[in-house]
């Protein structure tokens, strides 16, 4: 079984841990940079991206996170996690981790009170996925090699860029594990590919 970490500084950590376990992988809550070395993949959970960035800086985790990405290991960002992964965040001069070739706009779907759930069709994953939007960002534009996996109301809300998966909504808040299963399969394929090259 592959080991997938959940960045445990802030946000929906417990829900992602449960989703990873249900999808057939070992989940590890990550609070220190040294833990990244034992992982095959990493989830950046939803939460508040500004707060998460402050905590990443406080615990000196930014460079280790970028190194993790540079090693070719898969990363999955949901909501605030998508903002952390994006190479460009509108209204912000510099990115956070900045590894996914997308431009992201924050709070695209209104405030907390405007939260909603909508069934979405997800390319390569399936139909009628219950997508929960809470102060969600959206992907404004994607690079040439980025695969759009879902759109809602003309806006990209799920995309894959090589080893990176970014999602506007909160799949961990539902009983439907198809997106997490998709990410676990990405991680498994990455591990198998590395073993084949050894």
Q: Could you give the residue numbers annotated as active site?
A: 79, 170, 172
Q: Residue 80 CA to chain centroid, in angstroms?
A: 8
User: Rounded to 5 degrees, what are φ and ψ at 85?
Assistant: -75, -30
What is the C-alpha separation between 174 and 167, in angstroms, rounded?
A: 14
Token pair of 112, please? 């907390």
Q: Please give the backbone phi and psi of residue 147, each rounded to the nearest 5 degrees, phi first.
A: -100, 120
Reference 116, options 168, 67, 66; nearest CA is 168
Q: Which two tokens stand for residue 104?
A: 């992201």
Q: How far apart are CA 168 and CA 189, in angstroms?
A: 24
């Amino acid at each position: 079984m592959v080991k997938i970490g959940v960045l445990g500084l802030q946000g929906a950590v417990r829900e992602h841990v449960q989703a990873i376990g249900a999808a057939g992988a070992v989940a590890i809550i990550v609070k220190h940079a040294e833990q990244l070395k034992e992982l095959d993949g990493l989830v950046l959970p939803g939460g508040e991206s500004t707060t998460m960035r402050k905590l990443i800086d406080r615990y000196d985790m930014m460079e280790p996170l970028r190194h993790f990405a540079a090693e070719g290991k898969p990363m999955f960002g949901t909501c605030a996690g998508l903002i952390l992964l994006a190479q460009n965040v509108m209204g912000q001069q510099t990115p956070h981790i900045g590894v996914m070739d997308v431009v992201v706009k924050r709070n695209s779907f209104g405030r907390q009170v405007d939260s909603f759930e909508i069934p979405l069709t997800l390319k390569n994953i399936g139909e009628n996925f219950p997508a929960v939007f809470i102060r969600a960002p959206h992907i404004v534009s994607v690079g040439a090699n980025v695969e759009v996996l879902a759109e809602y109301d003309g806006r990209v809300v799920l995309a894959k860029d090589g080893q990176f998966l970014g999602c506007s909504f909160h799949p961990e808040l539902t009983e439907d594990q198809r997106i997490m299963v998709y990410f676990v399969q990405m991680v498994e394929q990455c591990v198998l590919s590395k073993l084949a090259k050894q």
